[in-house]
Amino acid sequence: MSNSGTLIYFCGKMGAGKSTESKKISVVRNAVLISEDEWLSKLYPDQITSFEDYIKFSGQLRPLIKAHVQSILRAGSSVVMDFPANTKKQREWFKLLSLEAKSESELIYLKVSNELCLQQIAQRRVEQPSRAAFDTEEMFNQVTKFFEEPIESEVKKLVVVVKNV
């Protein structure tokens, strides 16, 4: 596996700071950053208006992204994926992606209080008005219902970062 890059991916509730951390980590590790939000906004502009829309379009994106990421990993570069790994099923997808590419992987879990997540979502609405309709407390509550905290046995390497108000 030494010739392959490392796959770095994130778990954390909506508003936990996954995108911010992924940008920082990609710079620090000189890794390719791939952002789900960027791809979705470019491929499906103005088409994601509900959680159901997000699930649909995200599912269509994954097969394309998988092959792309595996090619980068096999070429020896590391990849930081700003995609949620917030359920066991999502984490299985990342694990399989990494195994098939014969690469190392690392899950970074941003364990952030609901209160801080909601504060950061409110700030994001101010900084990115285009996301205001989707980035709401109601959406946070809906999405959080599906959140499953990761456990060490699920992944090869788990890094936990705790942040509270």
pLDDT the model gives residue 130 = 76
81 domain-assigned: yes
pLDDT in tens, the chain (165 residues): 457 899 999 999 999 999 999 999 999 999 999 999 899 989 988 888 778 888 899 999 999 899 999 999 999 999 999 999 999 999 999 999 999 999 999 999 999 999 999 999 999 889 888 777 778 899 899 999 999 999 999 998 999 999 876
Q: Give CA torsion, residues 43, 128, 141, 86, to 10 deg.
A: 50
- The residues that bridge with 9 in the sheet, in sequence order, are 81, 107
Tokens of 76: 């020896």
pLDDT the model gives residue 46 = 81
Q: What is the reported pTM?
A: 0.90
- The residues that bridge with 33 in the sheet, in sequence order, are 80
Residue 38's CATH number? 3.40.50.300
pLDDT the model gives residue 125 = 87
pLDDT the model gives residue 1 = 45
Tokens of 55: 């699930």
User: What domain count does the chain have?
Assistant: 1
Phi–psi pair at 128, nearest 5 degrees? -130, 75
Report how far residue 95's alpha carbon sits from residue 100's, in angstroms, rounded to the nearest whole number.
9
59 domain-assigned: yes
1 domain-assigned: no
- The domain of 158 spans 6-163
Instruction: Please spell the DSSP secondary structure of 57-74, one letter per residue.
Output: HHHHHHHHHHHHHHHHHH
